[in-house]
Amino acid sequence: MVFNYFRMVGVDIKKYYIRYLEVVTPYMGSYKCRALKQKVNPLPRGDNDKVPVERWPSWTYREVLITGSIEHGLPEYYIKNLRKLKTNGEEAYLRARRLLDRYAEGKPCECKVPGRIPRKPLILKLNMGRILPQK
């Protein structure tokens, strides 16, 4: 089964809908990007925040955004603004967080997990559009 991000976030249950936006970059021209827009807006804002409490990211998601921004060399002012985002206090399970960190760097772990059938790591062949075992 292929991982489907849009099913995970709620496009299939019509919580979000897909919009295509034209994004203009200073050096590489413009791109057409797919974005998700929430159909039902949350309750009114409190404490004069620009972003409603229901839309605050989790601490873990904010860290993923910051880490990705640093890895891809985004400007420092952008990273500072990400660090200023308020979070809803939720944090991912520590093991899941460590796995995300591990798979974001280098080769995947080939740990032997009890009760699992050993197999070769999977690689993504983009020209074929499906995942195949590594040779």
Residue 130 to residues 11, 19, 99: CA-CA distances in angstroms? 22, 25, 23
Looking at residue 27, what DSSP letter applies? Answer: T
What is the structure's pLDDT at 107? 62
Contact of 19 with 35, CB cutoff 8 Å: yes
Tokens linked to 132: 């195949």
The predicted model scores a pTM of 0.43
Alpha helices in 37-93 (DSSP H): 59-71, 76-84
Give mean pLDDT in consecutive 10-residue pieces for the chain, a chain of 135 residues.
54 75 80 77 63 77 85 90 85 68 63 64 57 53
Instruction: Give the separation between CA 57 and CA 64, rounded to whole angstroms.
Output: 11
